[in-house]
């Protein structure tokens, strides 16, 4: 990895870590979810970064991809709160997440995912197989009596690519592919009191632009021009609503979806409605691997 690129990852990681801790401080009973997300995104900008994806808060049985639209009035109370934050500097991405238990009932569940992450990070180096990482995560979470979420995984981080190869499993899936020097990956264990399998909900409020053709009306084309600025990174419906208003946003999204220009990222929840916790760090693989989202 070129020194300049390395420094961009390090900078993105520092900003992500600070934004995550700032967001954690806002997670209190009575806080509006939308307000927390907007303040986290503002903090990222204040620190000199850009969101690699919209800040997300997923509650209770929801594991990922929950993101407020402009009209969201959800208030934090006694939920299990997952905060997921991504930052990029010129496309170099840092991805990190944590869980706060406002209910006071799931301390062990939160500890299970966090400890699974810590244990996995201890073995990250060139030559370690993906299955070995998954085994460590699985053994840690099951030792607490919970299930790892098997159909969610960590992932590679490419330039302007939030999810790329390799897929980093949360159980021993037999994958003998090995980590290599200079790879950038995110490891994110999810622990569940339920099935350990997630399924899609609706509606999606996070999307990725995958094609920029096939639309003709001026409103949709104006929105499309805005989305191209994301350079392939995910965006929030809320961002468009703030810029274009709710009606124009809904109109444009409908046409873009029909034209197959967008890939939706719907909220994901445990299929047995079990409670879910999450922990995540990003790491540059090496003999002395760099966990660059640690505060």
Phi, then psi, of 142 in degrees rounded to 5? -70, -25
Strand order across the 50-59 sheet? 50-59, 80-89, 92-101
Q: What is the DSSP letter of 75?
A: B
Catalytic hit among 65, 138, 163, 255: 163
**Catalytic residue list contains 90:** no
**Catalytic residue list contains 65:** no
Closest CA to 238 of 12, 53, 8, 95: 53
**Catalytic residue list contains 188:** yes
Phi, then psi, of 14 in degrees rounded to 5? -65, -45
Catalytic hit among 18, 41, 69, 84: 84
Catalytic hit among 61, 95, 115, 270: 95
Catalytic hit among 155, 255, 265, 281: 155
- Give the burial class of 122: count Cβ atoms within 10 A of its Cβ; 0-12 exposed, 13-18 middle, 19 or more buried: exposed
Closest CA to 234 of 161, 139, 130: 161
**Catalytic residue list contains 139:** no
**Catalytic residue list contains 163:** yes
With the C-alpha atoms ordered 72, 192, 197, 51, is the resulting torsion angle positive or negative? positive
Cβ pair 212, 228 in contact under 8 A? yes
**Catalytic residue list contains 72:** no
- Give the burial class of 70: count Cβ atoms within 10 A of its Cβ; 0-12 exposed, 13-18 middle, 19 or more buried: middle
Catalytic hit among 18, 101, 115, 188: 188
Q: Which residues are catalytic?
A: 84, 95, 155, 163, 188, 280
């Amino acid at each position: 990895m070129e020194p300049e690129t390395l420094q961009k990852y390090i900078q993105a990681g520092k900003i992500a870590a600070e934004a995550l801790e700032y967001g954690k401080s806002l997670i209190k009973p009575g806080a509006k979810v939308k307000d927390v997300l907007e303040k986290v995104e503002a903090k990222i900008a204040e620190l000199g970064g850009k969101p690699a994806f919209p800040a997300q808060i997923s509650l209770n049985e929801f594991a990922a991809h929950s993101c407020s639209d402009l009209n969201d009035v959800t208030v934090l109370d006694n939920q299990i709160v997952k905060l997921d934050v991504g930052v990029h500097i010129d496309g170099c991405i840092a991805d990190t997440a944590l869980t706060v238990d406002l209910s006071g009932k799931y301390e062990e569940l939160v500890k299970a995912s966090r400890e699974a992450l810590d244990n996995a990070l201890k073995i990250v180096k060139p030559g370690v197989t993906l299955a070995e990482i998954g085994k460590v995560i699985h053994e840690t979470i099951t030792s607490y009596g919970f299930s790892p979420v098997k159909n969610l995984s960590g992932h590679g981080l490419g330039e302007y690519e939030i999810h790329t190869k390799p897929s980093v499993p949360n159980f021993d899936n037999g994958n003998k592919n090995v980590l290599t020097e200079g790879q950038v990956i995110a490891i994110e264990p999810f622990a569940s009191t339920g099935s350990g399998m997630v399924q899609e909900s609706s509606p999606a409020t996070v999307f990725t632009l995958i094609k920029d053709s096939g639309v003709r009306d001026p409103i949709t084309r104006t929105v499309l021009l805005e989305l191209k600025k994301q350079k392939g990174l995910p965006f929030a419906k809320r961002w468009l609503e703030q810029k274009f208003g709710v009606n124009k946003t809904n109109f444009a999204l409908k046409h873009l979806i029909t034209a197959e220009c967008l890939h939706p990222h719907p909220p994901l929840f445990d299929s047995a409605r079990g409670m879910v916790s999450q922990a995540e760090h990003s790491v540059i693989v090496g003999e002395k691997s760099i966990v660059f989202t640690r505060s």
